[in-house]
Structure 1
Amino acid sequence: MRRTILAIALFLTVAIGLSGMPVLAWEPATPVSSNAVYLVNSDTGSVIYEKNATQKIYPASITKLTTSLVVMDKYANSLDTVITVTKEDLATIAGTGSSVLGLKVGEQISVRQLLHGMLIKSGNDCAVVLARATSGSIPNFVSAMNAKAKKLGATHTHYANPDGLHDPNHYTTAADVYKIAHTFMSSDFLADVVDTPSYTVPATNVTPAVKIQNTNSLIVGGSPYYLSDVKGIKTGTTTEAGACLVSIAQRKALTYYAIVMGGTETTAGSTVNNTAFADTKALYQWVLKDFKMRQLLDTTTPQEQVPLQYASKQKNITLVPEKQFNSLLPTSVTAASVKLVPHNLPKQIAAPVKQGQRVCTADVMLNNQKLGTIWLVASQDAARSTPLYIMATASAFFNSIWFKIVCVLIDVLFILYLVWAHNAGHRRRGGRGQNRGNYRR
């Protein structure tokens, strides 16, 4: 199923043409209170909504997405490798009061179970054990995390630990988190883990089996934040980072990522109010209901006409889009609202022209928003008329500046020749007269 969705995503991305990653100024139906938000349709790369997306923020346990990627680089094909928990591992997070699975010194547990404990229950003890086992030490692992972030294009991200506990030098941006999350979800194993509402960690040599519940309330049935379209991904909370949630939702072959950071979490009796959860659910309900994929341009409807040179059977060539153009838009937007703004549209085109020949690019505009860029191409062949071409070429030559320069040079040379000939004749006549005078004496 996931491969099918990825294939559809690739098709839709190609159908966009040259659009890149357009950022559109849509406003959600419900105001967003969280500090930094990045809502993306990953099929087209369209940023549906953003708020402080490039602002420096603290990631809390969202860090564990990168932790998982570095671990998978080593253990993807050996997830059942057993690791022994050490005293030094647990000392790393002792006294922090942070979320843990409850590992014990000497406990033997597989990489697979540690990843479940880290991603579902957000166990910091699992994170440090995995880091040490993967790279030999926490500093070495953190270096690998920073290298991984850089490789993924998360250039405004820096890590100081594998668990997300606060450190002033441990930061990211919502836009960077999207890049990391998108790569994270390309792993079938990791995607399945974070879409698990609850999980039973098997018994180990020192601990009986334990059932853990996912910290992401949007995938837990019975939660007021539950939304069936959501398939993960990870929560995070510290005082400095606030309440954070990175998630993915899928409906009708469309996939969205919501990066919601810097929310608040308060408790009233037994009720927990988490604005990161509330904002995420509201964003998904809005985009899943009000947006759909629209075909705005096809490959047959004429968009521009350009005069032809050297063609006897037709005066103009019609330009059409090279590819159909699809865009994710609110259902209230009509195709008639979309306009094309060509770049470097030629005043005329010289025949011969081949059908499909690229002529110029054009921006696809909706009001003042750029949806993408396409190529405009010739809709048909246009043959060149040889007589017209010869006459036009000759006319162009005789009217060219070079022809005029040559004519002037010829005139100058001719005048110089006449002057030279005149002077030469005068000298010859003068010489003959001198000779006759000498003879008479």
Structure 2
Amino acid sequence: MKRIYIALIILAFLLLRVPPAYAEPPSAENLVTDAKACILIDSQTGQVLYEQNADLRLYPASTTKMMTAILAIENAKPGQVMTASQKAINEIGADGMNIGIMQGEKMTMEQLLKPLLISSANEAANILSENVFSSQSEFIDQMNKKAQEIGAVNTHFVNPNGMHDPDHYTTARDLSTIARYAMSLPVFRNTVCQRSYQLGATNKHSSWPVLYTSNPLLYRESEYFTKVTGIKTGYTSEAGHNLVSAAANDKGMELIAVVLGVSGTGAGAKARSADDCEKLLEYGFQNYGRQNVIGTNQFVKKVSVKDAKDDTELTLVTAASVDYVLPYDKSQWNIVSTSLIPTSFQAPIQKGEVLGSIEYRRNGVLLGKTDVIAANSVEISPITIFFKKIRYPLIGVVLFFILGIIFKKVSRSFR
């Protein structure tokens, strides 16, 4: 019996030592999605971590409203009062999302941003487009101009709300560019992360019900990221279900995922667009992290210095660190460094003096650049100082001597 007890204790000990099972990190190969196109980028740098048909021209639907919000935030004051026209109500579109704003209703720009971005209300987009500039047509012109300015060069808008039009198009890559720019605006960022909101009373509504987000990903949790930070849904029968999403982990890394063209109608298809975004985000957080490419004060090399006192060598080090989102598997880094450092140095050199730089690239993309500085001072040789001091007087003596000889020769020629 004693032996049985001992055997059971040993078995329990061994079982406790078995490492826990973890989910297999998804690879790029098994990132199968229902979308026609998708992309995953690092929010800080814009680096692409995964893409599939990212330059395929597709219809943005209500993800258009990201650009509508950008123009409103950058060109109107938060308290600017805007009045809903009958045209703005009429152009909601068949089955277009709306919250029931009425003709003649007065709301501030700041109030309109919430139904625009959280509930995806078409009339909010229309009202903003009629009031920010002198006309809606000017607003749409500015949407296209802004898209070009920020690098969304394969995008064209014909309306502010995303209702279908054959000439209203974008790409997954462009939407990631627009989203990244939009998330740099605090008002936008603070709005798109909200699950619900309630508007204040207006001249047409004494009260509003609680209104909820159209983004299903905001209700999801993951062991790989700590918070979903936005952003925007979109749907028309022609576009399918679109979702631009963002999430951050506890290390401060934020990723943006774009999924376009998930087919189907209803909640099931919408959920699949969220599934695809979640897959992309989890792939990114499981396989990538902010890595240190080079640290501060890292040794670069030692060099000789011309006219150095006691032949002192100069140590070159990096002035700052370079960090970038890279695979956790360092064998995939393939980083190429380019040194932009002079081939020769002349004393004196002061400690901390900038003497060159190093650039780091991966797959042709610049990851970062750091200055190269002197880690120590190098004084000039006393002999060099002596010769520098007597150089000009010595030159003067030599010139005086030469001029004297010339003068004598000239004098003799006149005798």
SS where residue 163 of structure 1 aligns?
coil
Post-superposition CA distance 1:136-166 (Å, at most 9, x none): 5321221232333344444443321111122
- Scaled by the length of structure 2, the TM-score of the pair is 0.73
1:352 paired with 2:352, answer no
Match of 2:305 in 1: 308
Match of 1:283 in 2: 280
Matches within 5 A, 1:259-278: 259-266=257-264, 271-272=268-269, 274-278=271-275
SS where residue 281 of structure 2 aligns?
helix
Instruction: Find the aligned partners of 1:221 and 1:208 in 2 and give their Cα distance.
Output: 30
Letter in 2 for 1:43: Q
Match of 1:409 in 2: none
SS where residue 309 of structure 1 aligns?
coil
1:364 paired with 2:364, answer no
Match of 1:87 in 2: 86
Question: Which of residues 321, 330, 335 is equivalent to 1:333?
Answer: 330
1:387 paired with 2:383, answer yes
SS where residue 266 of structure 1 aligns?
coil
Cα RMSD (Å): 4.0
- Post-superposition offset of 1:246: 1.8
Post-superposition CA distance 1:54-100 (Å, at most 9, x none): 55443221111121222234543315x352x3332233344x33222
Letter in 2 for 1:372: G
Match of 1:408 in 2: none
SS where residue 140 of structure 1 aligns?
helix
* Partners of 1:40 and 1:48 within 8 A in 2: yes
Post-superposition CA distance 1:161-214 (Å, at most 9, x none): 111122233233444434432343344433332212133445653686334321
Matches within 5 A, 1:26-425: 28=28, 30-31=30-31, 33=33, 34-78=35-79, 81=81, 83=83, 85-94=84-93, 96-201=94-199, 205=204, 209-220=208-219, 229-252=227-250, 254-266=252-264, 271-272=268-269, 274-314=271-311, 316-333=313-330, 340-343=337-340, 345-364=341-360, 371-387=367-383
* Partners of 2:295 and 2:322 within 8 A in 1: yes
SS where residue 65 of structure 2 aligns?
helix
- Post-superposition offset of 1:226: 12
Letter in 2 for 1:328: V
Post-superposition CA distance 1:363-417 (Å, at most 9, x none): 335698763333322221112214358889xxxxxxxxxxxxxxxxxxxxxxxxx
Instruction: Find the aligned partners of 1:123 and 1:228 in 2 and give their Cα distance.
Output: 28
Letter in 2 for 1:212: L
Letter in 2 for 1:117: P
Post-superposition CA distance 1:41-62 (Å, at most 9, x none): 3334544334444554432211
Q: Unpaired segments of 5 or more residues in structure 1?
A: 1-25, 393-441
Instruction: Find the aligned partners of 1:293 and 1:258 in 2 and give their Cα distance.
Output: 15
SS where residue 90 of structure 1 aligns?
helix
SS where residue 48 of structure 1 aligns?
strand
Instruction: Find the aligned partners of 1:181 and 1:108 in 2 and give their Cα distance.
Output: 28
> Which range is displaced more, 324-333 or 30-39?
30-39
SS where residue 284 of structure 2 aligns?
helix
> Which range is displaced more, 125-134 or 198-207?
198-207
Which is higher, the Rg of structure 1 or of structure 2? 1
SS where residue 58 of structure 1 aligns?
coil
- Judged with a 3 Å threshold, the aligned counterparts in structure 2 of structure 1 residues 214 and 140 are, in CA distance, closer, same or farther, namely same
* Partners of 2:192 and 2:230 within 8 A in 1: yes
* Partners of 1:263 and 1:275 within 8 A in 2: no
- Judged with a 3 Å threshold, the aligned counterparts in structure 2 of structure 1 residues 305 and 150 are, in CA distance, closer, same or farther, namely same
Post-superposition CA distance 1:124-144 (Å, at most 9, x none): 122112222333532122123
SS where residue 229 of structure 2 aligns?
strand
- Judged with a 3 Å threshold, the aligned counterparts in structure 2 of structure 1 residues 59 and 257 are, in CA distance, closer, same or farther, namely farther
SS where residue 303 of structure 1 aligns?
strand
Q: Unpaired segments of 5 or more residues in structure 2?
A: 1-25, 389-415
* Partners of 1:260 and 1:276 within 8 A in 2: no
- Post-superposition offset of 1:352: 1.9
SS where residue 299 of structure 2 aligns?
coil
* Partners of 1:37 and 1:258 within 8 A in 2: no
Instruction: Find the aligned partners of 1:226 and 1:299 in 2 and give their Cα distance.
Output: 30
> Which range is displaced more, 145-154 or 332-341?
332-341
SS where residue 310 of structure 2 aligns?
coil
Instruction: Find the aligned partners of 2:119 and 2:333 in 1 and give their Cα distance.
Output: 50
- Judged with a 3 Å threshold, the aligned counterparts in structure 2 of structure 1 residues 110 and 340 are, in CA distance, closer, same or farther, namely closer
